[in-house]
Structure 1
C-alpha cells in the first residue's frame, strides 16, 4: 500500500513545480578575492582575556564584572535559548505525533436529517474517546531542511553572543582609556595652574620692583581664571565618562566614583604582516553571518520541498457510542489506519513566490556577509596603519615636548633676569602645556588603537566545531 502511495505521489508531482522562481544569483567572497592571504597565518591573534595583558587589575575587574551582569549580554543569552527552542520545535516535527481527545455531549438529533428513528428528534448522549497517531514521512527533505535552518540560526546566535562579549570588553577598555586620558589632562591642567600661580607671584614681585606693569598682572590673572575653567570642564567630562563606564559595567552611575585609572604604558604590539585569511574564523560577527547564509539556504530548501506531496501515516483507536450506558462496551470500539497524501495542484503562484522570496533572502544574507568581510579586513588594515603612524608621531612628539620644555626654562630664566618680557614666557608656557596634552592624547590614541586592533582581529574568539544542540527530537 505504501508503494502505491509513493507511486501516486511521483505521478502527481508534476502538478506543481518550482520552475519560474527567481534563483539566487550572489556568491560568497573568498579570502583571495579581497586580498587576504594564507601566508599571514602567523598573525599574533589576541588571547580571549587580552585585557589582562595590560596588567591593570581594576580594568580586569570591571570587564569580568560586566561579562557576568551586563543586561545586554543577558538578552543575547536569551536569544540563544530562543534559538534552542526553535531547534527543538523543528526537530519535534520529524517525530510521530500522538494525541488524545474525548468528546461527551448531550444533544438533540434533528428529525429532518439523515439520522433514522428512534434517534431522530430524540435527546441522547453522543460520546467519543480516541487516541490518534500520525507520522509525516520526510520523503523530500522538508523537515530535515527546517531543522538544519533552525540549527544554523542557533549557531549564529551563539556566535552573536561571543561577538557581543568582544564588543563589550572593547568598549569598556576604550572608555577606561578615555577616563584615564581625562584624568591625566586634569593633572596637567592642575600643574599648569600651579605654574601660572607661581608666575603670577613673580609678576607681582616685578611690579613692586618697577619692572612690570598692571598689563602683565592682568594677563597672568586671566590665564589662571582660564585654567580653572578648564579644570571644571574636565571634571564634568570625567564625571560623565565614569557614568558611561558604570553603565557598561552593569552598575549604577555613582558606583565608580573612586575609579581613577592611569594610562597604561604603551607597548609596541606585534602587528600582522598582512590581511589574514584566518580572520573568517576569528571574527564572531563573520561566523554568525556565515551561519545565517547556511540557514537561508536551508529555508529555500524548505520552500522548494513544499511543491512536493506530504505523506502521512495515520492511525487511531478509540470508543464511540450513542448513550453513556454503552460507551465502554466492546461493540463501541473504533479504529483505523492508513496513509494520507496532500499535494498542491494550483495555488495561483503562491509557492513559487514564496521560493523566490527565500532565494532573495539568500542573496541578502550573502551580501551582508560579503560587506562584513570587507569591513573586517578594512578595520584590520586601518588599525595597523594607525598604530604604525602613532608610533612615529609619538617619537616626533617626544622631541617636540623636550624642545618646548627647554624653551620654557630659558624664557623663564631670562624673564627672572630682566632680559625677556612676559609675553615670551606665556608663549613658551602655552607651548609646553599643549605638548604635554598632545603626549597624553597620543598615548590614549595608541591604547585605543590597540583595543580596536584587538577587536578587529576577533578579540580572542576562535570558531569551534559547533555541535548540534540536544533537541528532544534528535535524542
Structure 2
C-alpha cells in the first residue's frame, strides 16, 4: 500500500514536470518615455474623473449617459461579441475535460451464428448463441509531454483574448455612440443657425424688394438677395438630412429601429474635459485590444508545445469492468464478471512529414501573433498621439475661429450700414453674410471635432478597461 502511494506521487510529479512549450515571456516592445504630442498637457483635476467604467460621465451630459446605458443592453453587436466570448469559454472547458479520465458505460444483446467452416470451430458449442454484455470503460491519457496541458492552456488564453475582444467591442460601441451624439448636437446647433439665417435672409429679401419698388435698389440686388435666401434654404435642408441620418445611426447603436427612435433637438453644450494620457508604458495595461493580442501570443506559445509533443509517444491507461453471459438469467452473477486493466503506448513511426509541417505551422503562428501584438502596441501609441495633437490644435483653432466669427459679424454690420447709406452694393452685403455664416458654422464644427477628439483620446487610452480588472470595464479616466 505504501509502495503504491509512493508510486502514485512519483507518477503525479512526472506528469506535471514536463512541458514541450517554450517558457513564455510577453514580447518586448520598447515604450517611449512620454508622448510626443503631450507637450505641457494639463493633468486632469480630481473633479474631472468619472465613476469607474462610465468614462462618458466626464462630459456631464445626462442624455449621453442615458444612451450609453441603453446601448449596453440593446446593441446587437455587443450581444454577438458576448456570444463569441461564451463560445470561447465553453471551448476552454471542453479542452479542460481532457485532463480528467473518461468513463463510459454500455449494454448490448447479440444473437449470433458462427460459420461451421471457420478455423477451430467447436461443433459442441451452441450455434447460434446469445451474448449479453454490460460493461464500463475508463481511459486516461498520461500527459508526460504536456500535450493536454498545453492544449488546455491555449484554449484558456484564447478565452482570455475573447474577453478582451468583448471589452474592445464595448469600448468601440461606446465611443461611436458618443461621437454620433456630439455630431447630432452639432447638427442641431447648425440647424438652428441656418433656420435663423433663412428667417433673416427672408426679411432682407422683402426689404430689398421694397427698396427696388421705391427705386432705391436695383433688380440685381433683388436677385442677389433671393439667391442668398434659396442657398440658405438648401443648406438647411441638407442639415435636416444629415441630422436624420445621424439619428438613425444612434438608433441602431442602442438597438432600436430608427422608426421608433427620436431625440429632441438641443444645442451642443459640452465642456471639453482634461484627460491625462499618462505614460506610454501604462498603455499596455489599459487597452483591451493590446491585451487580446498578448493573450493570443500566449495561446500560440502553448500551441508550439502541443506540436512538439506530437514527436513523443502517447501513453494511456485503460480499464474495463462488467458482466457477460450467454443467458439473461445468469447475466449479473459473479461468474459472469469480467475486467481488464493496463497501460498502452502509441508512437508514430512515419507520417510523411506531417508532424514537422505542423510544428513549422505552430512556430509561424507564434511569429504572426508576436508581430500582431507589436503592431497593436504601435497602433495604440499612434492613436493616442493623433488624439493629443488633435485636441491641442483644435483648441487653438477654436480660439482663432471665435475671433474670426466675431470679426465677420462686425464686417456684416458695417456692410449693412454702408448699403443702407447708399455707398456699397448689395453684393458686399451678400459676401459679408456668407462669410459670417460660414464662420459661425466653422465654430460649431470645431466644437464638435474637439468633443470627438476627446472621445477618441479616451478610447485610445482604453476607456474604463484595465488589465487588473480582467476585462471588467472598471477603471478611472484620469
TM-score range, shorter chain: 0.7 to 0.9
1:292 and 2:296 are equivalent in the alignment: yes
The corresponding residue for 2:133 is 128
Distance in 1 (CA, whole Å) between partners of 2:356 and 2:283 is 38
2:29 match:
30
CA shift at 1:31, angstroms? 3.3
Q: Aligned to 2:112, what secondary structure does the other structure show?
A: strand
Q: What is the CA–CA distance in structure 1 between the aligned matches of 2:232 and 2:158, rounded to whole Å?
A: 56
Distance 1:207 1:84 in 2: 79
For residues 119 and 415 of structure 1, the distance between their equivalents in structure 2, rounded to whole angstroms, comes to 130
Query: Is 1:303 aligned to 2:307, yes or no?
Result: yes
- Which secondary structure state, in structure 1, belongs to the residue aligned with residue 136 of structure 2? strand
Question: How do 1:188-227 residues align onto structure 2 when only pairs under 5 Å count?
Answer: 188-227=193-232
Any residues of structure 2 matched to 1:428-467 within 5 Å, and which?
Answer: 428-464=432-468, 466=470
Measured in 1, the distance between the counterparts of 2:167 and 2:269 equals 26
Cα distance change of structure 1 residues 27 and 268 upon mapping to structure 2, 3 Å threshold: closer
Question: How do 1:41-440 residues align onto structure 2 when only pairs under 5 Å count?
Answer: 47-114=52-119, 116-118=121-123, 122-267=127-272, 269-272=274-277, 276-440=280-444
Contact 2:189 2:266 in 1 (8 A): no
Q: Which stretch of the first structure deviates more once superposed, 68-77 or 374-383?
A: 68-77
Bigger CA drift: 146-155 or 458-467? Answer: 458-467
**How far off its partner does 1:206 sit?**
1.6
SS for the counterpart of 2:144 is coil
1:134 counterpart SS class: strand
Per-residue CA deviation, residues 435-475 of structure 1 (Å, 9 max, x unaligned), is 000000100011110011110011121112659xxxxxxxx
CA offsets 1:324-372 (integer angstroms, 9 cap, x no match): 3443343222111111111122212111111111111101111111111
Distance (whole Å) between structure 1 residues aligned to residue 251 and residue 120 of structure 2: 77
Offset at 1:104? Answer: 0.8
The Cα of 1:145 is off from its aligned counterpart by 0.9
Post-superposition CA distance 1:106-155 (Å, at most 9, x none): 12111122463346782211222211112211111111111111110111
Given the superposition, is the C-alpha separation of residues 465 and 151 from structure 1 closer, same or farther in structure 2, using an over 3 Å criterion? farther
Deviation track 1:166-216 (CA, whole Å, cap 9, x = no partner) reads 111100001111111211111111111111112112212321331112221
Q: Deviations over 1:279-328 (max 9, x none)?
A: 00100000011001001101111111121121112111111233434433
Question: C-alpha separation between the residues in 1 aligned to 2:224 and 2:120?
Answer: 112
Give the unaligned 5+ runs of structure 1: 11-17, 468-475
- Which deviates further from its counterpart, 354-363 or 249-258? 249-258
Question: What SS class does the counterpart of residue 254 from structure 1 fall into?
Answer: helix
Distance 1:164 1:466 in 2: 15
Matches of 2:146 and 2:87, distance apart in 1: 24
Q: Secondary structure at the match of 1:370?
A: helix
**Could you say which residue in structure 2 is the equivalent of 1:15?**
none
* Aligned residue number for residue 472 of structure 1: none
Question: Does the 8 A contact of 2:35 with 2:385 survive in 1?
Answer: no
Asked whether the 8 Å contact 1:271–1:384 carries over to 2, the reply is: no
TM-score by length of 1: 0.88
Instruction: Summarize the Cα distance change of 1:37–1:339 in structure 2 as closer, same or farther, 3 Å threshold.
Output: farther
Is the contact made by 1:111 and 1:120 (CA closer than 8 Å) also made in structure 2? no
Q: Is the 8 A contact 1:111 1:121 kept in 2?
A: no
Give the direction of change, closer, same or farther, for the CA distance of 1:398–1:131 in structure 2 (3 Å limit).
Answer: same
